[in-house]
């Protein structure tokens, strides 16, 4: 159970653009998923927290998150050990951790390279990640990835297909192809592109759903939009980071597109795939971002109505181009902007999710979550093709990896609730 919780938290972090560090010394954040059931396991947690307390003396900005049943243990007993802990959260809701990281350790946008190192720990999960392309040739001024991960390198299609077949044999049904710019796939090889790769993965028996992340607006072609529409197992959802809603900021970020270009790209996507679910990433408080520039981001979020916006306050990364520039937006103002985006987006996401209530969606079951102290009844957790998180009560015959129609009965900005049904219509 602990393992499954860890994988889920890991997935949420990867989805938000964070990556694994090679060593504890390299990490900007550490998450301890503690177990209070066995004394020995419990002691390990305290030992780990003691070690992290020491590490924080040299790395004061290190974020330490604590989750798992340790968090529900006696608070008085916990208190002396909690000193290095910045955030505690329930394993089912990583939002407090993600918000803390957004404030203190913003994601490297699309940094997934080390997912491979964790593949062995995710055995049996129906949802798996596979690297399609490594590195990045761009030079976004806030980003360290090109300096750390090297040039863009696509993996040969046959190697990717082979790996997915192995994962399928171990229970995978939903595959996410990863890359810093996954839709540049093939550019460095010549002759092949992401739609070609998607077509080949679609032919693998037993793989029901294919996703890809992260996409770059400049590589979002009509051909790729048509592939999303036409290839049966490719899901109708995409993360297309805009990062800022004003041309001055985009230029300083060296993103290589304008707000107008981004808006046209979204129009194109929606005209080809009308029911597509869209998410984006936004950085607030970048060097030189005025209130007027920031309003551009709010306008864009308001107009384009994303299903989700991953927002982060800008913080300098050593070794990036922007590291040389003046970080001139005060921390309090960055947080104000971050909360403004969150407020806007929460309303939009709730409104979008409410439209699912009363409909039936095909949900791929990920795992059964047993009852724990301080949370609701035991329930299943799964996702729609649009990547909407769905919770439903247990019913006979449900197993991880199964796709079932679910009648949606309620919605929050972050998830849907429903019950297993035999109805046949699915919004997306
Ligand atoms: Fe970083 Fe930009 Fe490359 Fe993404 S596209 S990895 S943000 S340099």
Banded model confidence at residue 122, pLDDT cuts 50, 70, 90: low
Give the rounded percent of residues in the chain with a pLDDT score beyond 70: 82
- Examine the fold and report which residue of 235, 257, 272 is the final residue of a domain before the chain moves on: 235
Determine the distance separating the centroid of ligand 1 and the alpha carbon of 199, expressed in angstroms. Answer: 26
Average pLDDT over residues 29-49: 68
- Ligand 1 atom nearest to 216, measured from its CA: 5
Average pLDDT over residues 201-208: 98
Give yes or no for residue 140 CB within 6 A of ligand 1: yes
Closest CA to ligand 1's atom 2: 140
In a domain, 428, yes or no: no
The pLDDT assigned to 124 comes to: 67
208, 245: one domain: no
- Model confidence at 28: pLDDT above 80: yes
In a domain, 118, yes or no: yes
Q: Which range is least confidently modeled, 80-89, 192-201, 319-328, 349-358?
A: 80-89
Give yes or no for residue 146 CB within 6 A of ligand 1: yes
- Ligand 1 atom nearest to 143, measured from its CA: 1
Residue showing tokens 């192809």: 177
The pLDDT assigned to 190 comes to: 83
Structural domain tally of the chain? 4
For helices 222-230 and 259-272, give the axis angle rounded to 10 degrees.
30
Q: How far apart are CA 286 and CA 254, in angstroms?
A: 12
Domain region containing 393: 360-420
Selection from 403, 15, 12 nearest residue 238 by Cα: 15
Residue range 365-420, pLDDT digits in tens: 999 887 654 456 778 999 999 999 999 998 889 999 999 999 999 999 999 999 99
Q: How far apart are CA 62 and CA 84, in angstroms?
A: 9
Give yes or no for residue 88 CB within 6 A of ligand 1: no
The pLDDT assigned to 372 comes to: 58
Q: Which residue has the higher pLDDT, 369 or 250?
A: 250
In a domain, 426, yes or no: no
CATH number of the domain that residue 122 is part of: 3.30.750.210
- Model confidence at 88: pLDDT above 50: yes
Mutate to test the pocket of ligand 1, among 106, 135, 146, 149 (most ligand atoms within 8 A of CB): 146
219, 140: one domain: yes
Banded model confidence at residue 126, pLDDT cuts 50, 70, 90: very high
Beta strand 389-392 pairing with 379-383:
antiparallel
Determine the distance separating the centroid of ligand 1 and the alpha carbon of 218, expressed in angstroms. Answer: 12
- Model confidence at 163: pLDDT above 90: yes
The pLDDT assigned to 111 comes to: 34
Mutate to test the pocket of ligand 1, among 145, 151, 281 (most ligand atoms within 8 A of CB): 145
Banded model confidence at residue 202, pLDDT cuts 50, 70, 90: very high
Give yes or no for residue 321 CB within 6 A of ligand 1: no
In a domain, 385, yes or no: yes
Give yes or no for residue 136 CB within 6 A of ligand 1: yes
Q: How far apart are CA 281 and CA 142, in angstroms?
A: 14
- Ligand 1 atom nearest to 137, measured from its CA: 3
The pLDDT assigned to 42 comes to: 59
Q: Which residue has the higher pLDDT, 97 or 137?
A: 137
Give yes or no for residue 253 CB within 6 A of ligand 1: no
166, 97: one domain: no
Selection from 155, 229, 215 nearest residue 180 by Cα: 215
Banded model confidence at residue 106, pLDDT cuts 50, 70, 90: low
Give the rounded percent of residues in the chain with a pLDDT score beyond 90: 61
pTM of the model: 0.75
The pLDDT assigned to 98 comes to: 81
Report the largest interatomic distance among the alpha carbons of the chain, rounded to a whole angstrom: 63
The pLDDT assigned to 35 comes to: 60
The pLDDT assigned to 85 comes to: 84
Average pLDDT over residues 313-323: 91
- Ligand 1 atom nearest to 243, measured from its CA: 7
- Examine the fold and report which residue of 305, 330, 352 is the final residue of a domain before the chain moves on: 352
Average pLDDT over residues 44-57: 78
Banded model confidence at residue 151, pLDDT cuts 50, 70, 90: very high
The pLDDT assigned to 374 comes to: 44
The pLDDT assigned to 244 comes to: 98
CATH number of the domain that residue 252 is part of: 3.30.750.200
Give yes or no for residue 307 CB within 6 A of ligand 1: no
- Ligand 1 atom nearest to 144, measured from its CA: 1
The pLDDT assigned to 70 comes to: 61
Give yes or no for residue 152 CB within 6 A of ligand 1: no
Q: How far apart are CA 10 and CA 118, in angstroms?
A: 9
Banded model confidence at residue 423, pLDDT cuts 50, 70, 90: very low
230, 130: one domain: yes
- Ligand 1 atom nearest to 136, measured from its CA: 3
The highest-confidence range among 101-115, 227-241, 365-379, by mean pLDDT, is 227-241
The pLDDT assigned to 203 comes to: 98
Half-sphere exposure (CA, 13 Å, Cβ side) for 236?
17
Q: Which residue has the higher pLDDT, 123 or 414?
A: 414
Tokens (6 digits) for 299: 């306008």
Determine the distance separating the centroid of ligand 1 and the alpha carbon of 110, expressed in angstroms. Answer: 7
Give yes or no for residue 157 CB within 6 A of ligand 1: no
224, 119: one domain: yes
Banded model confidence at residue 54, pLDDT cuts 50, 70, 90: confident
Instruction: Please give the mean pLDDT across all residues of the chain.
Output: 85
Q: How far apart are CA 128 and CA 347, in angstroms?
A: 31
Determine the distance separating the centroid of ligand 1 and the alpha carbon of 241, expressed in angstroms. Answer: 10
Mutate to test the pocket of ligand 1, among 112, 131, 136, 262 (most ligand atoms within 8 A of CB): 136
The pLDDT assigned to 45 comes to: 74
Give yes or no for residue 138 CB within 6 A of ligand 1: yes
- Examine the fold and report which residue of 187, 208, 235 is the final residue of a domain before the chain moves on: 235
328, 379: one domain: no
Give yes or no for residue 218 CB within 6 A of ligand 1: no
- Model confidence at 120: pLDDT above 90: no
HEC string of the chain? CHHHHHHHHHHHHHHCCCCCCCCCCCCCEEEEEECCCCHHHHHHHHHHHHHHHHHHHHCCCCEEEEEEHHHHCCHHHHHHHHCCCCEECCCCCCHHHHHHHHHHCCCCCCCCHHHHHHHHHHCCCCEEEEECEECCCCCCCCCCHHHHHCCCEECCHHHHHHHHHHHHHCCCCEEEEECCCHHHCCCCCCCCCHHHHHHHHHCCCCCCEEEEECCCHHHCCHHHHHHHHHCCCECCEEECCCECCCHHHHHHHCCCCCHHHHHHHHHHHHHHCCCCEEEEEEEECCCCCCHHHHHHHHHHHHHHCCCEEEEEECCCCCCCHHHHCCCCCCHHHHHHHHHHHHHHHHHHHHHHHHCCCCCEEEEEEEEEECCCCCCCCCEEEEECCCCCEEEECCCCCCCCCCEEEEEEEEECCCCEEEEECCCCCCCC
């Amino acid at each position: 159970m602990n393992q499954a919780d860890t994988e889920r938290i890991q997935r949420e972090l990867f989805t938000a653009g964070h990556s694994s560090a090679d060593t504890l010394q390299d990490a900007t954040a550490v998450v301890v998923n503690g177990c209070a059931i066995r004394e020995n396991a419990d002691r390990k947690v305290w030992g780990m927290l003691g070690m992290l307390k020491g590490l924080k003396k040299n790395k004061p900005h290190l974020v330490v998150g604590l989750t798992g049943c340790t968090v529900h243990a006696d608070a008085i007993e916990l208190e002396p050990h909690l000193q290095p802990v910045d955030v505690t959260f329930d394993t089912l809701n990583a939002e407090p951790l993600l918000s803390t990281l957004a404030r203190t350790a913003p994601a490297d946008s699309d940094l997934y390279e080390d997912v491979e190192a964790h593949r062995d720990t995710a055995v049996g999960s129906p949802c798996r990640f596979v690297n399609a392309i490594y590195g990045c040739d761009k030079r976004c001024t806030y980003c360290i990835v090109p300096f750390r991960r090297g040039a863009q390198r696509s993996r040969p299609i046959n190697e990717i297909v082979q790996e997915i077949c192995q994962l399928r044999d171990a229970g995978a049904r939903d595959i996410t192809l990863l890359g810093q710019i996954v839709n540049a796939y093939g550019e460095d090889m010549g002759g092949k592109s992401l739609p070609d790769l998607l077509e080949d993965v679609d032919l693998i028996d037993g793989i029901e759903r294919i996703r890809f992340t992260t996409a770059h607006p400049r590589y979002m072609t009509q051909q790729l939009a048509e592939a999303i529409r036409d290839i049966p197992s490719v899901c109708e959802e995409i993360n297309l980071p805009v990062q800022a809603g004003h041309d001055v900021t985009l230029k300083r970020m060296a993103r290589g597109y304008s707000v107008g270009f981004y808006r046209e790209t979204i129009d194109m996507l929606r005209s080809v795939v009308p029911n597509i679910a869209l998410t984006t990433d936004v950085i607030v408080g970048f060097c030189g971002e005025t209130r007027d520039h920031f309003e551009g981001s709010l306008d864009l979020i308001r107009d384009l109505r994303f299903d989700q916006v991953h927002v982060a306050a800008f913080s300098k990364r050593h070794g990036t181009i922007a590291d040389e520039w003046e970080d001139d937006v005060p921390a309090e103002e960055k947080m104000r902007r971050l909360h403004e985006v969150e407020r806007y987006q929460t309303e939009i996401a709730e409104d979008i999710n409410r439209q699912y209530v009363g409909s039936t969606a095909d949900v791929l079951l990920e795992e059964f979550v047993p009852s724990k102290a301080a949370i609701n009844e035991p329930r299943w957790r799964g996702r729609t093709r649009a990547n909407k998180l769905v919770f439903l009560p247990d019913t006979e015959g449900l197993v991880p990896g199964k796709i079932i129609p679910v009648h949606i009965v309620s919605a929050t900005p972050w998830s849907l609730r429903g019950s297993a049904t035999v109805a046949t219509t699915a919004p997306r």
